Amino acid sequence: MSTDEVESTYFRRTSRWKLIVVLLIIALIVTIIVSLNVGYAQISFTNILAILGKHFPFLNGFVDSSQVLPRDEAIILQIRLPRIVAGVVVGAALAASGVVYQGVFKNPMADSYLLGVSAGAAVGATFSLLFGAGFSFFGLRLVQIAAFAGALLAMFLVYSISRVGSRVPVTTLLLCGIAVNFFLYAIVALLEVIAGDELHAIVFWLIGGFSNVLWSDIWAITPFIVIGTVATYFYARDLNMLALGEDTAQHLGVNVERTKKILLVLASMVTAAAVSLSGLVGFVGLMIPHITRLVIGPDHRILFPTSTIIGAIFLVVCDAIARVVASPFASTLELPVGIITMLAGAPFFILLFRKKKDSYAL
């Protein structure tokens, strides 16, 4: 390849990136509309579009919604759409924070649950399911508040244990995260043992799913995720340099300790918000950044937005599958989406392992 070609490829890169993001957003919208069609009740695409159009400020003048049954409208707007929007938000949040963790820890095997966020949320949620059912606050149910608080507490616990002076070395963070995770999961296990009737709810929460998501939950949680994700994107270039190593990043002018703190706090906040909405949906935060990096490359300026959108698409698709996959056996049974993501995640791991087997061999 001639040298001029290399340069022009690089200059076209920005517009190529924009194109990729636009295409992915279109793909996300298509996925949303298609998955609105998926479910026990048969609702045609025409009606789905009519219902959506009716509620879109600029489109409602052009839409003929006279054929739409009020029952269908209620199913789409009050049952399916909140689930799907929750899927978009949670999938985006987990993938986004996964990218951040993998970048900061310079390790493609890191995921969004690394720093005790999942275990903290699990302890909070389990406690509230056992002892505080029915309580709510500003439209949020106690289980969500408790999960969010538990996640943030666990993250700060890990963070403050692993701090050495003013520095937070990633190795100690990683080890403390693992230790705190184990400790908190032991508490969850203890609570499960004494749970009795509430065990079913706890298990469902731990697997992760969207079956009871309400609009009010989404309105309360989404701002954390949007703000956290957008703020993180400002640090995309710093993430590139952190991925080269902390010393290198510092030599290139990155304020490493401060940037690391900001990024980890933002990513943990985003994860905490996500799990408080959905429970512990696994593998999205590990797998989506990984796959995206294989296709798009490691540059966080494009990796971060594409991972976020692909995470959203992936979780919406998984949830659609979860809604209908069990229907041949029991027409109204809906699986928690966490089962689907994990069923897809484990084979991915094995595939990855087989592909990179040589580099693991000693």
Partner 1 sequence: MLRLVLLNVNGVECRYGSVKVIEDVSFSVKEGDFVGILGPNGSGKTTLLKSISRTLKPHKGTILLNEADIYTLKGIDVAKQLAVVPQDTNIGFSFAALDVVLMGRNPHMSRFQIESSKDMAIAKKAMMVTNTWQFAERPINELSGGEKQRVIIARALAQEPAILLLDEPLTHLDIINQLEIMDLVKELCVKEKLIVLAVFHDLNLAARYCTSAIMLKKGKIFAAGGLPEVLTSENIKGVFNVNAIVKKHLVTNSVFVIPLSPQKPPLSKKCAIHLICGAGTGTALMKVLLDEGYSVTAGVLNVLDTDFETAQFLKIPAATEAPFSPITEKTRKTNLAMISKASMIVLTSVPFGHGNIQNLEAAKEALEKGIPVFVLNEVPIESRDFTQGRATALFDDLKAKGATFVKDQTELLSRLNVSEEKLGLAKEGTAKIFNHLKPGEVHKESDITDKHEKSKGGPENQ
Q: Which is nearer to partner 1, 44 or 255 (CB)?
A: 255
Q: Closer CB to partner 1, residue 9 or residue 136?
A: 9
Nearer to partner 1, 246 or 334 (CB): 246
d(CA 103, CA 248): 14
CB of 232 to partner 1, least distance (A): 13
Beta pairing, strands 136-137 & 140-141? antiparallel
Other C-beta atoms lying within 10 Å of the C-beta of residue 246:
19
Q: Which positions touch partner 1 (CB under 8 A)?
A: 1, 3, 6-7, 9-11, 14, 106-108, 234, 237, 240-241, 243-245, 247-248, 250-255, 293, 297-299, 301
Smallest gap, in angstroms, from Cβ of residue 225 to partner 1?
22
In the complex, minimum distance from the CB of residue 354 to partner 1, in angstroms, rounded to a whole number? 19
Separation CA 84–CA 28 (nearest Å): 11
Of 200 and 237, CB closest to partner 1: 237
CA–CA distance, 35 with 55 (Å, rounded to integer): 18
| Smallest gap from residue 241 Cβ to partner 1 (A) | 6
200 CB burial (10 A radius; 0-12, 13-18, 19+): exposed
Of 110, 99, 113, 114, nearest to 298 (Cα)?
99
Closer to partner 1 by Cβ: residue 94 or 303: 303
Q: How far apart (Å, rounded) are the C-alpha atoms in residues 353 and 332?
A: 37
SS3 at position 159:
helix
